[in-house]
Structure 1
């Protein structure tokens, strides 16, 4: 599978927050990477993700992938970009 759209649990420190994800795998010069965006989150949950060193996205089947946020969080923002690290969880 090269894309995933649907519910995820984001785990960052002691926070486990339900969100919606739109993720995909891209390939460039035979190097694969994954990323996309997270939406439908509480600002406080996303702030915690920003301040924790390691965050994971967990899909409903239990697969997990580590990621970092792309950009800055602004109040009322509806989606946040993510860049995956390691193998894609989908």
Structure 2
């Protein structure tokens, strides 16, 4: 197969290039960027409410999620949902 240039024109009017349609996977999507920003703001808000840092809130969240993922606890939660 012949290589194709990213500068190759695309479409009838040839005003677009092939490279215009290739996603940049190194950059977060707008949705991911907005979600990350909202999470940061939410953690800061919770931190202010409880007079702790955003990092401490993140640590508490991580510990709680680890506990919820533990097999004995997750089984109880699954039973509750059924």
Confirm or deny a common fold (TM above 0.5): no
The interval holding the TM-score normalised by the smaller chain is under 0.3
Larger-Rg structure: 2
Under a length normalisation based on structure 1, what TM-score does the superposition of the two structures give?
0.19
Q: Answer 1 or 2: which has greater helix percent.
A: 2
Under a length normalisation based on structure 2, what TM-score does the superposition of the two structures give?
0.20
Q: Answer 1 or 2: which has greater strand percent.
A: 1
Higher relative CO (Cα under 8 Å, sequence separation at least 6) belongs to 1
